[in-house]
Amino acid sequence: MNTLKVGDKVPSFSAMDQDGNTIKLSDYEGKKLIVFFYPKASTPGCTAEACNLRDNYSELQAQGYELLGVSADSQKRQSNFRNKYEFPFPLLADEDHTVLNIFGVWGPKQFMGRKYDGIHRMTFVIDEKGIVSKVIDKVKTKDHAAQIL
């Protein structure tokens, strides 16, 4: 797993969001971008994390941040997740792992003694020039916005 680090330039990428729109890294040029990766839509930890970001969205925006959520879920699953909790930011349906692999968040995990490959819950803060300025790998799902700010 070769994860992007602070100071790395993020390679350009594009992926479909929950509504089938193509979202590209270049869409956010000149803006600060938070990209948060979560293992699976509508699971308790992912819901807590995304809802915490939703509840603090206006504060994040006031500080100049845009948000993108990413998992390997289908568009339909992302769409249901977004509509149910009324997230004001897009969720990428990265089913082919393009974005997961660019950021290096797909890899071996262990849960209750079982080893498997999956998405590591991580958040990347990217500056206006597309450079990683912060990496959060110990995400506090219920207090994530505070970690970012």
User: Is 51 among the catalytic positions?
Assistant: no
- φ/ψ region of 75 (left if φ > 0, alpha if ψ in -120 to 50, else beta) reads alpha
Non-local (6+) Cβ contacts of 91 within 8 A are 17, 18, 41, 68, 69, 70, 71, 73, 78, 79, 81, 82
Question: Which member of 16, 23, 46, 145 is catalytic?
Answer: 46
- 103 to each of 13, 39, 108, 147, how far by Cα in Å? 10, 14, 15, 19
Q: Point out the residues that are catalytic.
A: 46
